[in-house]
Amino acid sequence: MARDYYGTLGVGTKASGDEIKRAYRKLARELHPDVNPDEAAQARFREVTTAYEVLSDPAKRQVVDLGGDPMESAGGGGFGGSAQGFGLGDIMDAFFGGQGGGSGRGPRSRVQPGSDALLRAELTLAECATGVNREISVDTAVLCSVCTGAGTSPGTHAVQCDTCGGAGEVQSVQRSFLGQVVTARVCPTCRGTGETIPEPCVQCGGDGRVRSRRTVTVKIPAGVAEGMRIRLSGQGEVGPGGGPAGDLYVEVSEEPHEVFVRDGDDLHCTVRVPVVDAVLGTTVKLETIDGQADIEVEAGTQPSSVVTLRGHGMPRLRSGVRGDVHVHLDVVVPTRLDHKQKDLLRKFATARRDDVAEVVHAGSRQSGGMFSRLRDAFAGR
């Protein structure tokens, strides 16, 4: 029975190539062995990778849409079996004059390019701001050191497949109401390469590559942000038969900061200011990502005021431009006062009779002054 490759990736049968690629990338990020070491997740990752390999290849996708399974090496009668391992052109040849001619594609190479790998790097806000060289442990397929990709034991070599004679495919003839039908499928012995390995390498089992854990150094530039990726060319999975390695992508995961919230190149934070300091003015020390800075709270500062420190934010990637730090001032009105404090505030309110509470009309930008709000808070009403 043919496998449901569309269902494996969670896409419909009419999905475009871009939709298939996005679905694969999303699942690969969740299931990659370097991210999710669970055995079930690793098995699922292999299924997802196989499904993407099939559906991203137009010829293989044609076979799937016709009810076949291009990843099966053998098949029975009908489209579900005879279509295994060949595309639409083979089916057309089978019904319209392809007798005896085969597909003419020839054997495929044992050497195939490797796939890309994805890892995540947890970075602090300071590391994102300054850049960092990070050593990351990578578990990928690497070139076999014994056979250097050949897949054969030392002193031996691959030989021509006896089953297909080096063609990489075998043909079968069937009689139907349409006449004699010749179909071709991938050779079950050599799997389409036209060669077999009598004495496989004892280290890689004939694959030309082995799994290995290694450490790579990633240079992460200043200004990176959540979700950005650094590409390391040729550091991904080595392909079957010792094929060229794919790329390694390191995705940035930015840890939350205890003080600042990032918005692009700008940083936001909140500073709580006692009401007396807001009235009289004060200076607050703030530890920014590049040192201590003074926040000048002017006399008469209103609640929700914002003080901006120009050029103290995050650096813009690949440029010397810096963002800003926006300090949101939260004026704190005390809720518990003793009798002496209340008497002092009542005297203060009496001295400020020119500043009274008033009703603000809807849509008006004006509001009562700070002192009127203080009188409402402290007059004991």
Complete domains list, the chain, with CATH: 103-158+197-255 (2.60.260.20), 257-332 (2.60.260.20), 336-381 (no CATH)
H-helix or E-strand spanning residue 340: helix 339-351
Residue 289: closest CA among 113, 97, 130: 130
Residue 99 confidence (pLDDT): 37
Q: What angle do CA 79, 69, 62 make, to 5 degrees?
A: 75
Write the CA distances from 160 to 53, 114, 170, 189, 194, integer angstroms. Answer: 27, 25, 14, 11, 6
Residue 230 confidence (pLDDT): 93
* Through-space distance between the first and last CA atoms of the chain, rounded to whole angstroms: 81
Tell me if 161 is assigned to a ligand binding site.
yes
Question: DSSP letter at 199?
Answer: S
Tell me if 144 is assigned to a ligand binding site.
yes
**What is the Cα–Cα distance from 32 to 74, expressed in whole angstroms?**
29
Tell me if 269 is assigned to a ligand binding site.
no
Tell me if 164 is assigned to a ligand binding site.
yes
**Which strand ranges, in their side-by-side order, compose the sheet holding 266-274?**
261-263, 266-274, 325-332, 306-309
Alpha helices in 66-149 (DSSP H): 78-82, 88-95, 125-130
Q: What is the CA radius of gyration of the chain?
A: 35
Write the CA distances from 322 to 325, 359, 373, integer angstroms. Answer: 10, 43, 38
Residue 345 confidence (pLDDT): 82
Give me the tens of pLDDT residue by residue for the chain, a chain 381 residues long. Answer: 568 888 889 988 888 888 888 888 888 878 877 667 777 878 888 888 888 888 988 888 887 877 777 776 433 333 333 333 334 444 444 343 333 334 445 688 888 899 999 999 999 999 999 999 999 999 999 999 999 999 999 999 999 999 988 888 888 877 766 566 777 888 999 988 899 999 999 999 999 999 999 999 999 999 999 999 999 999 999 999 888 999 999 999 999 999 999 999 999 999 999 988 998 999 999 999 888 999 999 999 998 899 999 999 999 988 879 999 999 999 998 888 888 988 888 888 788 766 656 676 665 544 444 445 444 544 444
Quote the tokens at residue 266: 């700008």
Say whether 76 sits in a helix, a strand or coil: coil
Strand partners, 215: 137
Tell me if 187 is assigned to a ligand binding site.
yes
Quote the tokens at residue 170: 């075998």
